[in-house]
Structure 1
Amino acid sequence: MQLYTTREIEQLQQHEDLPYLIEIMDWVKNFLGRPHPSLGRTGAVCPFVPLSLKSNTIRLAVIRTKDLYSEQLEDVVGRYRDIFLEMDIKEQELAINKAFLLIFPDVHIEDATKLIDSVQQKLKPLFVESGLMIGEFHKRNDSPGLHNPNFRPLRSPIPLLAIRFMVEADLPFLQSPTDPRLRIRYLEAYLKRFGNKFIDETKFKNAHQALTLAKEQLQKENLLSYCT
């Protein structure tokens, strides 16, 4: 389970996975790490990438999926979660910029929505409850940007899954599921993650309000189910 920093990739020679590593590294630097006219706000597409590149805290891995079942792929990604949590960062303030990019060059674009998205959806509750986020990227990802619904920030040249620590700004992603049970799990993990350490008091209040609404929705659904 080889992981490479961006600086290590620059020094690699004659490695079978080098073309994929270089293509994603260039995408990270030139798309995620830069402003975009359709983004809808100032700054880089991913605001953490510039500092992550500077601090060399992004690690990339190429995962070959031939002959792997979906459940086996979930196990592989789950092991990277464990590695992520166990890996030390010398300076604590840099930990928030740590990220893993798991690249899947064997996944055809026609299968990306089914395979990459399904693995992400299956594992996301486990990741969120561990204080992490896992995101799915591929050419057919139609998830809209937060500030411009016509922008597609999760499109990558090769299918991949990204792992990083949860941050306060992730609240919109955690209160979006239509299933109230899932929403409750996410919001409780979010509040547990930050506890009394919230920097943004508004997000703290919004998270509590969203959790209350999710619990009320679940109660109503349970009552309707009981009555019918």
Structure 2
Amino acid sequence: MPPIKTLVAAPTTKLFRVEDLEEVGKTRELAEGERQALRAVGDWIKIFMARPHKDLGRAGPVCPFVPAALEQKTLWLAPERSAGRSAADIIQLVDDYKRLLLAAQPVDGDGANDKSIVVVFTDLTAARAKDFFAGVLNQIGIPSYADDGLAMGPFYEGNPDTAIHNPHFRPFISPVPFLLIRPAVITDWKFFLNNEDWLPVWARRHGEPAVQALAEELRRLPWRAGRD
């Protein structure tokens, strides 16, 4: 396992930066299927998520946090298998990665929101991915956001979720199923605006700054034109 100086790593955890996947020595312990899955996701992150897209509906990269995370080397990929694991096992696994990310530097200040862990389920088929991730997120999604300040999102072939600014663009379709774990940010309200379960969780998590964030966005809307 390559050394991860900025993480307090559990002994059995395998974490790889995107650039590690190009070095045979750093992935020697992986099975070929694991290696191929991580490389597919790593390439997709670099080529798709870290770059602008004409159908995104806004300027900037598909994921605004990825370029900084790649530059700062605070994005890690972890290969895992779903076979033979109970629902409780998977929940515990995700909890372990949550704690790992919370311990990663920086824990505050500049760059604190640019770190993430991508848990790649190398044996999970696209057909099973929707129900698999729903089972995980239904149990720990809201508590993780509310209590730990961590957001989680599934990526897999066939994911129907769409971009905020273009309902016809689906940016959550990845070559191999994975679960993204990242810090919660105040702009998450854009994902939760039409979700009656999640919007109050976001508001409680961010408190008064959440109101200011919404107010700033509302001030840009044309309903104010007649008053100016």
TM-score tier by shorter-chain length is 0.7 to 0.9
Q: Per-residue CA shift, 1:143-196, capped at 9, x if unaligned?
A: 1110000000111111110011111211122343244xx5433321232xxx55
| Distance in 2 (alpha carbons) for counterparts of 1:5 and 1:138 | 20
Match among 5, 9, 21 for residue 9 of structure 1: 21
1:132 deviates by 1.3
Specify whether residues 90 and 161 from structure 1 end up closer, same or farther in structure 2 by C-alpha distance, changes over 3 A only: closer
Please state how far the C-alpha of 1:6 moved relative to its aligned partner.
Answer: 1.7
Q: Structure 1, residues 56-83: CA drift from partner, whole Å, max 9, x if none?
A: 1100001111111122111110111111
TM-score, normalization by structure 2:
0.80
Over residues 88-109 of structure 1, what are the superposed CA-to-partner deviations in whole Å (9 max), with x where a residue is unaligned? 2288412211010000011111
Does the 8 Å contact 2:187/2:213 carry over to 1? no
2:76 corresponding residue in structure 1 = 59
Q: Are positions 1:40 and 2:57 aligned together?
A: yes
1:146 and 2:164 correspond: yes
Structure 1 residues 64 and 40: CA distance shift in structure 2, 3 A: same
The corresponding residue for 1:165 is 183
1:107 pairs with one of 124, 138, 148:
124
Structural RMSD (CA): 2.3
State the partner residue of 2:204. Answer: 188
Greater mean alpha carbon deviation, residues 83-92 or residues 119-128: 83-92
1:148–1:119 CA distance, 2 compared to 1 (3 A): same
What one-letter code is carried by the residue in structure 1 that aligns with 2:163?
A: G
Q: Which moved more, 1:141-150 or 1:64-73?
A: 64-73
Residue identity over aligned pairs, in percent, reads: 28
Identify the residue that residue 218 of structure 1 maps to in structure 2: none
Question: What's the TM-score, normalizing by structure 1?
Answer: 0.80
Answer 1 or 2: which has greater helix percent.
Answer: 1
For residues 92 and 6 of structure 1, the distance between their equivalents in structure 2, rounded to whole angstroms, comes to: 24
In 1: Cα distance, 2:122 partner to 2:112 partner: 28
What runs of 5+ residues in structure 2 fail to find an aligned partner? 1-12, 219-228
- The residue type equivalent to 1:82 in the other structure is R
Relative to 1, partners in 2 of residues 1:190 and 1:118: Cα closer, same or farther, differing over 3 Å? farther
Task: Give the distance between the partners of 1:126 and 1:176, measured in 2 at CA.
Answer: 19
Unaligned 5+ runs, structure 1: 208-228
SS at match of 1:61: strand
Of 67, 83, 88, the residue aligned with 1:71 is 88
